[in-house]
Structure 1
Amino acid sequence: MNPLRRLASQTAVYGVSSIVGRFLNYLLVPLYTYTFVPADYGVVAEFYAYMGFLAVLMVFGLETGYFRFRNDDDRPANLVFATALRFLLLINGGMLLAAVLLQQPIADLLRHGDHPQYIWWTVAILAMDSVGAIAFARLRAENRALHFAGIKLIEIGANIGLNLFFIVLCRQAWEADPDSALGRLWNPAIGIGYVFLANLAASGLKLALLSPLLRDGLTGLGAVFDGALFRRMIRYSLPMVLIGLAGIVNEMLDRAALKFLLPHDDATNMAQLGIYSASYKLSILMMLFIQAFRYAGEPFFFAYARERDARQIYALVLNWFVICCVFIFLLVTLYLDLFQYFVGAAYREGLGVVPILLLANLLLGVYVNLSVWYKLTDRTLMGAWVALTGAAVTVAMLWLLVPRYGYQGAAWAHLVCYSVMVVLSYLLGRRYYPVPYDLRRVAAYILLGLGLYAAGRWLTDAADWNGLAAGTLLLLLYLAVVALTDGRRLMRQTAGARLET
């Protein structure tokens, strides 16, 4: 099968679970923002930011390590899986025990002393997700994308259903009659905590669905812990932890730090955090596309690396990727008057950060493509330094900009960070694994997107056009430009890509 078509088809399947599934999850944002005040929603944003950091630590980069070693030295693939799985079970079990024992002092430190249960609920979610992550990695490596997508969608459906059950049905029943069967299931003291409980139950269901894979990793053929293999895997994977942590700093530190950096009282800071986080959700379409691409792209890059035309294919992938990302940028920004209704009226003052965040995430996607150089050459430690440099830029920009410009400064910090990382990764890639990227076309499409966005603003603000009409016209213009300038060329290159051997 044509390699690019295979990558596109698997990205589409993974996109069902990440883009479609997460979009359904994204529909919970109106539920939260129309039900809870910004300060309450800020609690969810804060804890999910913490979860982003812990998720990286609790997987130890072993997903990528599994891809790297499963076909190495002709060893049984289940041996690599079993080794990673046993380690993750041990380390995550220990972290959950520590969270249960230390929940109160940790909650006091985070200024949530009235709700210590949030601590162990969060770690329990992460422990199950971390063990599940290595099972999902096995599904990806075995090209079982439909199985992967099915379990992901079931998990997301359970999470959505439980949110609706508790926050809508049970809460309304409690308001009508606190002594009713459903009303007794709603405790106002828990409130926003039902978001965590729904997630906890959904993660447990996911782990149950993955249990056949986990059982095979514990009792199946070759299911033993190989100490020598583990030492090789962890040496390769630990730099990926640094890369992941740096990535989370770049992606989520703003939501963890806003309450401490904003120059207001705690209540106002939490409200500002809630507003910013709700606006951040409007850039989620770009992130979901990048996530789907990562799921399909990482195993594809490793599997195709030995082919003669690999570097040309990687360059072509970047061209298509940027075309798609610019389309998403325009779709959201040109129709922002419609997308704004996904958040409550109290949150819409933050909509100005959406274009900045979309552009920043577009650059993050470019960096994901460029990072192939350190993964394929085993220079993960050098890749970690690029990510750590980006993290340092993020910290510096947040420190400088947030106290002065509020959450607008946090959005600009994202953009500056990813710009620096793209430049560094490209320069290092040219030295260690040169790929003939068509930089002029990539830059031209990004500039075209910015130009069309600016034209849309002018048409609606100065020329008094209808926003939907202007957006539709400009989006069609973008598609026409793509078709006329690059459509045939890119399709011809894609069709001519050498079949896999």
Structure 2
Amino acid sequence: MSIAKRLASQTVVYGVSSIVGRVLNFLLVPLYTGRFAAAAYGIVTGLYAYVSFLNVLFTYGMETAYFRFANRAGTDRQDLYNRVLTLIILSSVVLTALLSALAGPLLSLIDLPPGNERYAIWIALILGLDAVAAIPFARLRLENKAVKFASIRLANILLYVALNLFFIVLCPDVLAGKYLTGLQPLVQRVYDPTLGVGYVFLSNLAASAFTLLLLGRELLDFRPRLNLEPLRPLWQYAYPIMLMGLAGMVNETLDRILLPKWLPEGFYPGRSNLAAVGIYGACYKLSILMSLVIQAFRYAAEPFFFAQSGEKNSPRTFALVLKWFTLCCAVLFVGVSLNLDWIAPLFLKRPEYLEGLPVVPVLLLANLFLGVYYNLSVWFKLTDKTYFGTYISFGGAVLTIALNFLLIPVLGYMGSAIATLVCYALMAAVCWALGNQHFPVPYPVGRLLAWLAAAVALVTLGRWLPSMGQWTDYALHLGLTLAFIAAIWLVERPARAFRAAA
């Protein structure tokens, strides 16, 4: 198999495992919003927002450093693997023990109610297990074992989903006598109704432990080795990656951490701040529809961009890719935003969650700009000037914090959504401006901005028109979506554009 074909096949395998996993997680949203009140779901949203940051700290860039140093000439890969994994295991044990010991104070620090200390301990254990698994997973990628990597990832997700269904749906329904009443004695032995959302974390913990079992061959091959001196170059390479990862997490998840802290008590009448976080977190999940498209695109596009970099017409090709990526995402933005009236109830099962729907179009547009940024970032990857990515990420992080501080007390969770949109839009604009200086590409910026303005205007019109009845509204919103697609097709003519670029 040629190098190109092998790369393409592995890209597909890695991409499918990641995207299927995210889709399955997304499909748990109706389960959570149907079974848990917003305040209870706020606990899940709040704790997992912190998990995103702590994941970066637990691995502190060593996964990428392992890749980099394992590919250096003369490196003993087994020795490197032993050293890195030894360091990760030791640091994970220390950090897990520290988080577990400080569970009570940490919960009060993040505004979660007392009595949930066991959730924090389970989260600490999950973080430790996942950090230890990261290096064997990196080894599988290094050895081009894409199928094994993807299979274990999918097994983790499937077990997590299955346990969620068992503890959150099957057990309560059996105890309530809805079906399978003969299983009640068994369910009573394994199920604690008072645990509630805790089963989300327990399911994750079990799936993480199961993952380590599946990585048994890679772990049995491990021999502990602790010698700090040879690890110093790895740490010097890894810590900037950790800092960039933390900055990225600020842009992606900090709003759900800051919201309960900076939201004035009673801002939403009859709703606690924790309930507001739950509502915002559930509605945020709907914007993942855009994230899934971006994720799929990134897996396919990154190897494509590098492969095309040496071609004479590569700038023109990159411009064409950005154009059609943006137009496709604009269609998704219009389609989802205009049809939220029937899409949202499929996933948000309790009426209280529907109160947050106005943030969804804003978050969809924000994720669209994030996808545009990933497209535009090709210039600093191809010119080996990745430090520009660090600067842009940190600038976005500072902007995210400042805007959340200013907007949350005034606009509530809509302020967080607007902050996300402004951050990603400015990151894309700055990346384009810098790219124009270092790696000029003839992107049709004016034309794309015009289409995005048209999309926003169409969504605004459709959302603010007075209701004319449920089915009439559905038909009108679907008609506006189809009209937008037809306009793009008539004006841009994709077949003609791609023939011209060929």
TM-score range, shorter chain: 0.7 to 0.9
* Partner in structure 2 of residue 443 of structure 1: 449
Partner residue in 2 for 1:338: 342
Contact 2:12 2:299 in 1 (8 A): no
2:264 paired residue number: 263
Q: Distance in 1 between matches of 2:340 and 2:207?
A: 31
Instruction: Give distance in 2, aligned partners of 1:489 and 1:240.
Output: 42
Relative distance call for 1:297 and 1:245 in structure 2 (3 A) is farther
| Conserved? CA contact 1:62–1:237, under 8 Å | yes
Q: 1:274 matched to which residue of 2? A: 278
Amino acid at match of 1:429: G
Structure 2 residue 407 is matched with structure 1 residue 401 = yes
Question: TM-score with structure 1 length normalisation?
Answer: 0.84
Instruction: Specify the code of the residue in structure 1 equivalent to 2:498.
Output: M
Query: Is residue 174–residue 184 contact of structure 1 (8 Å, CA) maintained in 2?
Result: no
Q: CA deviation at 1:397?
A: 1.0
Q: Give the deviation of 1:369 after TM superposition.
A: 2.5
Q: Write the distance in 1 (CA, Å) between the matches of 2:51 and 2:359.
A: 23
The range that moved more, 433-442 or 234-243, is: 433-442
Alignment-derived partner of residue 187 in structure 2? 182
Bigger shift: residues 84-93 or 115-124: 84-93
Aligned position for 2:101: 101
The 1:385–1:83 alpha-carbon spacing in structure 2 relative to 1, beyond 3 Å, is: farther
Structure 1 stretches lacking a partner, 5+ long: 497-501
Alignment match, 2:210: 205
Q: Mean alpha-carbon deviation: is it higher for 375-384 or for 274-283?
A: 375-384
Q: Provide the C-alpha distance between the structure 2 equivalents of 1:450 and 1:376, rounded to a whole number of angstroms.
A: 33
Partners in 1 of 2:436 and 2:233 — Cα distance? 27
Q: Residues 439 and 306 (structure 1 numbering): CA distance in 2 closer, same or farther, change over 3 Å?
A: same
Distance 1:292 1:127, change over 3 A: farther
User: What SS does the aligned partner of 1:180 have?
Assistant: helix
Inter-partner Cα distance in structure 1 for 2:171 and 2:277: 27
Indicate the residue corresponding to 2:166 in structure 1: 165
> Which amino acid counterpart does residue 205 of structure 1 have in structure 2?
F
Letter in 1 for 2:132: V
Structure 2 gaps of 5+ residues are none
Amino acid at match of 2:408: V
Partner of 1:132: 133
CA shift, 1:423, in A, is: 1.8
Aligned residue for 1:264, secondary structure, equals coil
- Aligned-partner Cα distance in 1 for 2:148–2:438: 36
Say if 1:174 and 1:186, in contact at 8 Å, map to a contact too.
no
Change (3 A) 1:51 1:321: same
Letter in 1 for 2:375: N
Q: Residues 468-487 of structure 1: CA distance to partner in whole angstroms, max 9, x if unpaired?
A: 43344344444444545151
2:52 match:
52
2:449 maps to amino acid: A
Instruction: Summarize the Cα distance change of 1:462–1:228 in structure 2 as closer, same or farther, 3 Å threshold.
Output: farther
Alignment CA distance shift 1:40-1:58 (3 Å): same
| Contact 1:49–1:256, Cα closer than 8 Å, also in 2 | yes
Relative to structure 1, is the Cα distance of residues 210 and 146 closer, same or farther in structure 2, using a 3 angstrom cutoff?
same
> Which AA in structure 1 matches 2:396?
G
Letter in 1 for 2:368: L
Give percent identity, aligned residues only. 46
* Separation in structure 2 between the aligned mates of residue 67 and residue 308 of structure 1, nearest angstrom: 31
Instruction: Give the direction of change, closer, same or farther, for the CA distance of 1:32–1:149 in structure 2 (3 Å limit).
Output: same
- Aligned 1:23-422 pairs, distance under 5 A: 23-66=23-66, 68-73=68-73, 75=75, 84-110=84-110, 111-139=112-140, 145-176=146-177, 180-215=185-220, 218=222, 230-264=231-265, 268-297=272-301, 313-341=317-345, 342-343=347-348, 344-422=350-428
Kept in 2: contact 1:171–1:183 (CA 8 A): no
- Could you tell me whether the CA contact under 8 Å between 1:45 and 1:274 is conserved in 2? yes
CA distance in 2: counterparts of 1:229 and 1:312, whole angstroms: 45
| 2:494 pairs with 1:487 | yes
Maintained 8 Å contact 1:335/1:467: no
Deviations 1:109-164 (A, max 9, x none): 33443121222211221222233344444555666554444333222211111011
Larger deviation, residues 43-52 vs 165-174? 165-174
Q: Higher mean Cα deviation, 192-201 or 325-334?
A: 325-334
Q: Which residue of 2 aligns with 1:22?
A: 22
Compared CA separation, residues 208 and 33, structure 1 to 2 (3 A) = same
Q: Shift in Å at residue 311 of structure 1?
A: 5.0
Change (3 A) 1:433 1:56: farther
Offset from partner CA, 1:336-375 (integer Å, 9 cap, x none): 1222111121210110110000000111112222333444
Report deviation, 1:411: 0.7
What residue is the counterpart of 1:499 in the other structure? none
Letter of the 2:279 partner, please give it: I
- Kindly state the Cα deviation for residue 46 of structure 1 after the two structures are TM-superposed: 0.3
Call closer, same or farther: CA 1:382–1:16 in 2, change over 3 Å.
closer
Query: CA 1:464–1:37 in 2, change beyond 3 Å: closer, same or farther?
Result: closer
Change in CA separation of 1:165 and 1:407 when aligned onto 2, cut-off 3 Å = same
Amino acid at match of 1:428: L
| Alignment match, 1:424 | 430
Separation of aligned partners in 2, 1:427 and 1:45: 35
- Quote the Cα distance in structure 1 between the aligned partners of 2:378 and 2:389: 10
CA distance in 1 between counterparts of 2:22 and 2:404 reads 28
Aligned-partner SS, 2:185: coil
Q: CA deviation at 1:251?
A: 1.5
Compared CA separation, residues 244 and 8, structure 1 to 2 (3 A): same
Question: Take 1:455 and 1:291, find their aligned partners in 2: how far apart are those partners?
Answer: 30
For residues 120 and 431 of structure 1, do their structure 2 counterparts lie closer, same or farther at Cα, with a shift above 3 Å needed? farther
Distance in 1 between residues matched to 2:500 and 2:88, nearest whole Å: 43
Change (3 A) 1:460 1:18: farther
Contact 2:33 2:353 in 1 (8 A): yes
Instruction: Please give the per-residue CA displacement for 1:405-437, whole angstroms capped at 9, x wherever unaligned.
Output: 111111111011112211222223333444443
User: Cα distance, 1:38 vs. partner?
Assistant: 0.9
Q: In the aligned structure 1, how far is the partner of 2:12 from the partner of 2:327?
A: 16
> How many residues are matched?
491
